[in-house]
Amino acid sequence: MKESWCKDGGAGKVPVTQAAWTPVGVQEEFASVGAGGQDAVSARAVLDYPMATPWKRWCARLFDLWWENAVIGIVAVYVLSWIWPAFLIWIESTFASKLFDIACLPLALVLDAAVHALAGNTPGKAILGLRVGLVDGRRLSFVQHLRRNLGVWVSGLGFAIPLVCLFTMGRQHGRLNEGQPASYDGERYRVRAKSIGWGRRAAFGAVFILLFAALTGAEIADRVESRKTAARLKGPSFSWTNPATGRSASVSPHWEHTEQTSEDGLVLHQFTQHSDHAVVIIAPEDSGGMSLPQYAGEFTRSRSADWRMREGFLEDFRGQASWTAIGEQDDGKLRLQVRLVQKGGTVWRVVVVQSAPMEHTDELVNELTGKLWDTVVPGQDQAP
């Protein structure tokens, strides 16, 4: 058996036998790699890649978290608005919005693990040639990746808490620069990177910048809109005067008033809720000699092409003959409410259109419609 010699840091020479050098696939600690078919071949190939540099890892992680957190945020807003209607009001403040982003991060890391398990990698890592695997080169399962991402969230991202995350990321960067694995990788996981050309680097840079610009633009637009909304809602109520009766109503700053003219020349006074989840319209129209039931029938027929109208009914409303009905659209995602009141030869209508979740705007709608009816038939506030 031949022997070769290597220095042991200047303290002498230590003999190393050539027999000690054996292929990766037959070493005991990599035995599972050597007997795994195509997966084993892939694992051995990954072992040939060098460890990924801290900056490559940071860029890939940041890119993936950006789009993952955006997806989770969109889905979460949709779901929470159904479960908790007041959520749409709560999230309008800057602080609440930031807190919501932080709360979405753990779910984004769950999505990250799911994408890796299904596709074999995440977009950011794939473009930069990075791959997360076990020490022996094998791919991570969903549970393993989820467990690693939990470590990333805690000791790598510091729960995404401002300032705290700077210290945790700095600590991990220092470990990697010293040749140590990240604390959440330990002796189980490794992030390796294969060489990529300038074309892929340029492509990643371009996509990175585009994603950053899109998210930043959306963030700026959201902040501007939130500030405008906050300033508007803190403002005083405004007075609206019904031009047909001369009576006035105090309208909440949640509403914006516009005057429009329909195709048949009817003047409509429209009140739009600040988040566009509700619209209230009041308008008078000459009955043309029709009774209230006849007018109601014509109104229903004119809306039946776009709305699934339920059967309306007649009732007394503030001492006046009244007809009311409800319609739906898009499987209940849009709701129309209408009340008609006949005074002499004039039929007054108040129409409300709300988008789901209706509970978010019900209180505002009930308050406004009651005040609008006060300008026509003074009495206790009631919904149409």
pLDDT of residue 1: 40
Q: pLDDT class for 37, splitting at 50, 70, 90? A: low
User: What is the per-residue pLDDT across 131-150, written as a single tens digit (0 to 9) for each?
Assistant: 999 999 999 999 999 999 99
Give pLDDT, residue 4: 38
Q: How far is CA 23 from the centre of its chain?
A: 49
| Phi, psi of 53, deg, nearest 5 | -75, 155
Sign for the CA dihedral angle at 106, 111, 114, 119 comes to negative
* Mean predicted confidence (pLDDT) in 43-60: 87
Q: Taking phi first (over 0 means left), then psi (-120 to 50 degrees means alpha), and beta for anything else, what does residue 298 get?
A: alpha
Q: Which of 130, 181, 125 is nearest to 156 (CA)?
A: 181
pLDDT confidence of residue 41: 55
pTM for the whole thing?
0.65
Residue 274 pLDDT grade (very low, low, confident, very high; cuts 50, 70, 90): confident
Asked if the bond preceding 284 is cis, omega within 30° of 0, the reply is no
CATH number (3.50.50.60, 3.40.1000.10, 3.40.190.10, 1.20.140.10) of 238-374 reads 3.40.1000.10
Structure tokens at 216: 């930043």
Q: Are 327 and 307 in contact (CB under 8 A)?
A: yes
Distance CA 257, CA 272 (A): 7
Residue 348: both structure tokens together: 């007054």
Which amino acid is residue 207, in one-letter code? V
The contacts of residue 284 (CB under 8 Å, 6+ apart) are 244, 346, 347, 348, 349
Amino acid identity, position 326: I
What number is the average pLDDT over the span 75-100? 81
- Of residues 135, 173, 170, the one with CA closest to residue 54: 173
Calpha distance 371→362 (Å, rounded): 14
Residues 6+ apart with CB under 8 A from 227: none
**Stretch(es) of the chain classified as CATH 3.40.1000.10:** 238-374
Mean pLDDT over the full length of the chain = 86
What is the DSSP-derived secondary structure letter of residue 332?
A: T
Cα–Cα distance, 159 to 152 (Å, whole number): 9
What pLDDT, on a 0 to 100 scale, did the predictor assign at position 158? 96
* CB contact at 8 A, 115 and 142: no
Please state, in angstroms and as integers, the Cα–Cα distance from residue 104 to each residue in 45, 140, 225, 367, following that order.
36, 23, 22, 35
For residue 256, CA distances in Å to 126, 178, 268, 383 come to 49, 61, 14, 19
CA dist 339 to 204, 251, 329, 354, Å? Answer: 58, 20, 18, 15
355 strand-pairing partners: 334
How would you class 269 by CB atoms within 10 Å of its CB: exposed for 0-12, middle for 13-18, buried for 19 or more?
buried
Of 136, 132, 129, nearest to 47 by C-alpha is: 136
Question: Is the model more confident about 124 or about 19?
Answer: 124
Contact indicator for 140, 133 with CB cutoff of 8 Å: yes
21 pLDDT higher than 80: no
- Percentage of the chain lying above the pLDDT 90 cut: 65
Q: What is the pLDDT of residues 304-361, one digit of tens each?
A: 889 999 989 999 999 899 999 999 998 888 999 999 999 989 999 999 999 988 888 8
CA-based angle 272:273:274, to the nearest 5?
115
Sign of the Cα pseudo-torsion (141, 144, 150, 151, in order): negative
> Residue 330: its pLDDT value, please?
83
R_g over Cα of the chain: 33
